[in-house]
C-alpha cells in the first residue's frame, strides 16, 4: 500500500512515523505530541504495520565547532603598527627616504605605466571593459592606452589587469610579488579623481608597496606554497595603504582600511596561464581602493585584522615572521629591492632565456641544435613546466618556449609570446628539444644550459643572475626602450617619448592632468 509518512523531530532525533504509531484527534490527524517541527513529506510503499525509522546525526553535532588550531596569541599589533607608519611617515620631502629610493619609485611607476599602456587593447582588457560597461560606470578616471573613462574602482581593476596581462611588470624578488600592479593601479585612479599632486602619488606608492612586500616577507614562502597568488593577496593591503595615505586618513582610519582589506585577499596560483591571473592584481587594486574609501566614511573593521589568531595572516599562512614587518619600518623601503623584467614572462624563466640568448650570441643557431640540456631548480618546473603551451598566455609559463624564444630571437618581449609565434612550427620543434631536469643545488634565480649540437659539440652557459635581477639590473635607458616597445604601437612614438619625460618629472607635477592627457591614444 502506498501511504504518505511525515518526518518528525523529537528529542533531537529524526524519525518517520506510520499512522498506526501516532494517530489521534478528529479526522485521523497526525499526533503532535513532542513534535518540534514537520520537516517534509515523503511517499513510500510499505505495509501499515511496518514503520520505518531513520536516524540522522544529532543536530547539536551539525553546528559549527570552535576547533582549536595552533595560533600565535601574542603577536605584535602589526595592523596598528603599519597603519601608524602609513598615516604618519613624513615622506620624501621631509627626509623620509633617500634619493635612490625615490628614483626607484620613478622607475617603478614608469615600468608599470608602460606595461598598462602596452596591454590596453589586449582581449583580456577588452573583455573586462565590456563587462564593466554593463554597469554604466561614471567617467571618473582614465584607462592608460584607451580613450574611455570609467569610475575609480573600475579603473583600478582594469589598470591592474592591463599592467599584468603581459607578465612584464616589476618583481620583488624575495617574495615574487609584482608590487606596482595593485598599488599604482588604485593610486592613479584615485589621484586623478582627487586632483592629487605627483609628489603625493609617489609618496603613497613607496608606502603602499612597503606594506604589501613586508606582509609578503612575513608569510613567504608558506603562503605562496599553499597556492596563493601573493601579488593579489598582499596587494589588497598595499593598495589600501597607498589610498589611505593619498586620502590623508589618520591612524585609526588607516587601521580600519587595512582591516577591511584583510578580509579580501585575492588570487590562487591555479589561474596562472589564464586571463584570471592578471585579474588578481586588478581585483586587489579595486578592493584596496574601496577599503580606503569605506574607512574614510566611518566603516569599521577589527583593529587586529592582520595578526589575530583568526586574522588574515594566521589564516592564510602558518609562517608569520612578525619581525619582517616591524624591523627598520620607515627606514628601509622594499621598493629599493624592486626589479624589472626584460622578458615578458614568469620571472623564473628569465635565467633560461638569458642563457639561450647568450648561446645565440656565441653563434649557436636553432638549426644546429640536437637538444638543449637545461638544469634548473624544482620551483622553475613547478611554475613554468608547460611543455606544450597552446597560446601566448600559457607560453608565459613555459620554460620550454622561453628557451626556444631566447635561442631563436635573442630576446623575449611580448611579440615573442604572441599566439602566432607560440604555435609556429619551428618554435614547437625547438622547444621539444629542450630536456629539463631538476637540480635543487641551483638557485631559483639561476640556470645551467648546454646546447648539444648536431656536429657533436657541446656549448655550455651558466647564468647566476639574469639581466633584470638586482645583481644585474636594467638601466634607465633600457627601461625607456622597454616602455617605447610597449607604448609606441598604442600611443605613437611622439606621445610615448613625451610620456617618458612626464614620468621622470612626475614628482614636480601639481596634478596629473598632463599625464592623463598623454596616456590617451
Q: What is the pLDDT of residues 485-502, one digit of tens each?
A: 999 999 999 999 999 999
Q: Where are the alpha helices (DSSP H) in 298-344?
A: 312-316, 323-326
Return the bridge partners of 38, or none.
Answer: 8
Q: How far is CA 48 from the centre of its chain?
A: 63
Task: Report the pLDDT value the prediction gives residue 69, as an integer from 0 to 100.
Answer: 83
CA 406 to chain centre: 26
Rounded to the nearest 10°, the torsion over CA 87, 93, 97, 99 is: 150
Q: CB–CB of 236/230 below 8 Å?
A: no
The H helix count followed by the E strand count for the chain is 21, 11
- Residue 255's nearest CA partner among 371, 88, 134 is 88
**Mean pLDDT of the chain, nearest integer:** 90
* Interatomic CA distance for residues 111 and 115, integer angstroms: 6
Size of the chain, expressed as the number of residues it contains = 521
Q: What angle, 0 to 180 degrees and rounded to 10, lies between the N-to-C axes of helices 493-504 and 476-491?
A: 140
- The Cα–Cα gap between 397 and 379 comes to 12
Q: Is the pLDDT of residue 36 over 90?
A: no
The phi-psi region of residue 91 (left if phi > 0; otherwise alpha if psi is between -120 and 50; otherwise beta) is: left
pLDDT at 42: 36
For residue 355, is pLDDT > 50? yes
Q: Is the pLDDT of residue 67 over 80?
A: no
d(CA 342, CA 463) in angstroms, rounded, equals: 15
| Residue extents of the structural domains in the chain | 2-62, 78-341+504-518, 347-463
Spatial distance between the Cα atoms of 195 and 217, rounded to a whole number of angstroms: 33
pLDDT tens, position by position, 165-216: 999 999 999 999 999 999 999 999 999 999 999 999 999 999 999 999 999 9
Instruction: Evaluate if residue 4 carries a pLDDT over 50.
Output: no
The pLDDT of residue 68 is 78
Check residue 449 and report its DSSP letter: E
What angle is formed at CA 496 by the lines to CA 142 and CA 137, rounded to 5 degrees? 10
Residues sharing a CB contact under 8 Å with residue 324, sequence separation 6 or more, in sequence order: 214, 217, 218
Average pLDDT over residues 13-27: 37
Q: How confident is the model at residue 331 (pLDDT cuts 50, 70, 90)?
A: very high
Of residues 339 and 1, the one with the higher pLDDT is 339
Q: In the predicted model, is pLDDT for residue 62 greater than 60?
A: no
Q: Which CATH class is domain 347-463?
A: alpha beta
What are the backbone dihedrals phi and psi of residue 371, each rounded to the nearest 5 degrees, phi first? -160, 165
Per the omega criterion (within 30 degrees of 0), is the bond before 208 cis? no
The percent of residues above 90 in pLDDT, for the chain, comes to 86
Gap between the Cα atoms of 364 and 202, Å rounded: 45
78-341+504-518 has which fold? 2-methylcitrate dehydratase PrpD (1.10.4100)
Amino acid at each position: 500500500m502506498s501511504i504518505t509518512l511525515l518526518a518528525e523531530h523529537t528529542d533531537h532525533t529524526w524519525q518517520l512515523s506510520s499512522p498506526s504509531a501516532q494517530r489521534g484527534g478528529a479526522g485521523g490527524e497526525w499526533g503532535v505530541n513532542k513534535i518540534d517541527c514537520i520537516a517534509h513529506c515523503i511517499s513510500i510503499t510499505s505495509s501499515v504495520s511496518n514503520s520505518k525509522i531513520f536516524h540522522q546525526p544529532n543536530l547539536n553535532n551539525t553546528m559549527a565547532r570552535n576547533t582549536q588550531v595552533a595560533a600565535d596569541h601574542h603577536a605584535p599589533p602589526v595592523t596598528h603598527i603599519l597603519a601608524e607608519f602609513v598615516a604618519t611617515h613624513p615622506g620624501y620631502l621631509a627626509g623620509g627616504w633617500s634619493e635612490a629610493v625615490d628614483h626607484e619609485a620613478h622607475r617603478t611607476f614608469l615600468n608599470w605605466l608602460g606595461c598598462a599602456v602596452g596591454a590596453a587593447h589586449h582581449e583580456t582588457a577588452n573583455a573586462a571593459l565590456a563587462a564593466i560597461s554593463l554597469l554604466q560606470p561614471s567617467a571618473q578616471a582614465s584607462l592608460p592606452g584607451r580613450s574611455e573613462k570609467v569610475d575609480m574602482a573600475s579603473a583600478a581593476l582594469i589598470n591592474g589587469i592591463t599592467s599584468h596581462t603581459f607578465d612584464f611588470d616589476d618583481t620583488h624578488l624575495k617574495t615574487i610579488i609584482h608590487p606596482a600592479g595593485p598599488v599604482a593601479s588604485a593610486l592613479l585612479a584615485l589621484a586623478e579623481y582627487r586632483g592629487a599632486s605627483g609628489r603625493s602619488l609617489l609618496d603613497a606608492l613607496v608606502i603602499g608597496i612597503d606594506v604589501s612586500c613586508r606582509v609578503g616577507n612575513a608569510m613567504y614562502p608558506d603562503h605562496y606554497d599553499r597556492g596563493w597568488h601573493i601579488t593579489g593577496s598582499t596587494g589588497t593591503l598595499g593598495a589600501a595603504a597607498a589610498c589611505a595615505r593619498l586620502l590623508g586618513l589618520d591612524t585609526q582610519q588607516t587601521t580600519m582600511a587595512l582591516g577591511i582589506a584583510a578580509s579580501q585577499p585575492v588570487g590562487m596560483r591555479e589561474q596562472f596561464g589564464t586571463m584570471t591571473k592578471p585579474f588578481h592584481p586588478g581585483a586587489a587594486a579595486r578592493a584596496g581602493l574601496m577599503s580606503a574609501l569605506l574607512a574614510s566614511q566611518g566603516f569599521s573593521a577589527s583593529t587586529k585584522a592582520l595578526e589575530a589568531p583568526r586574522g588574515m595572516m594566521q589564516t592564510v599562512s602558518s609562517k608569520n615572521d612578525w619581525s619582517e614587518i616591524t624591523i627598520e619600518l620607515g627606514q628601509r623601503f622594499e621598493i629599493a629591492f624592486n626589479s624589472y623584467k626584460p622578458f615578458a614572462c614568469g620571472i623564473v624563466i628569465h635565467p633560461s632565456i638569458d642563457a639561450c640568448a647568450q648561446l645565440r650570441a656565441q653563434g649557436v643557431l636553432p638549426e644546429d641544435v640536437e637538444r638543449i640540456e637545461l638544469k634548473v631548480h624544482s620551483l622553475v618546473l613547478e611554475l613554468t613546466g608547460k611543455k606544450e603551451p597552446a597560446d601566448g598566455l600559457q607560453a608565459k609559463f613555459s620554460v620550454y618556449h622561453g628557451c626556444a624564444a631566447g635561442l631563436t630571437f635573442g630576446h623575449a618581449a611580448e611579440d615573442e609570446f604572441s599566439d602566432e609565434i607560440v604555435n609556429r612550427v619551428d618554435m614547437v620543434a625547438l622547444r621539444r628539444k629542450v630536456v629539463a631536469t631538476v637540480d635543487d643545488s641551483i638557485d631559483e634565480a639561476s640556470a645551467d644550459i648546454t646546447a648539444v649540437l648536431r656536429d657533436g659539440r657541446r656549448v655550455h652557459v651558466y647564468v647566476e643572475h639574469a639581466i633584470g635581477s638586482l645583481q644585474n639590473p636594467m638601466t634607465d635607458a633600457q627601461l625607456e626602450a622597454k616602455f617605447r616597445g610597449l607604448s609606441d604601437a598604442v600611443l605613437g612614438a611622439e606621445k610615448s617619448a613625451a610620456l617618458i619625460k612626464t614620468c621622470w618629472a612626475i614628482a614636480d607635477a601639481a596634478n596629473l592632468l598632463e599625464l592623463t592627457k598623454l596616456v590617451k591614444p
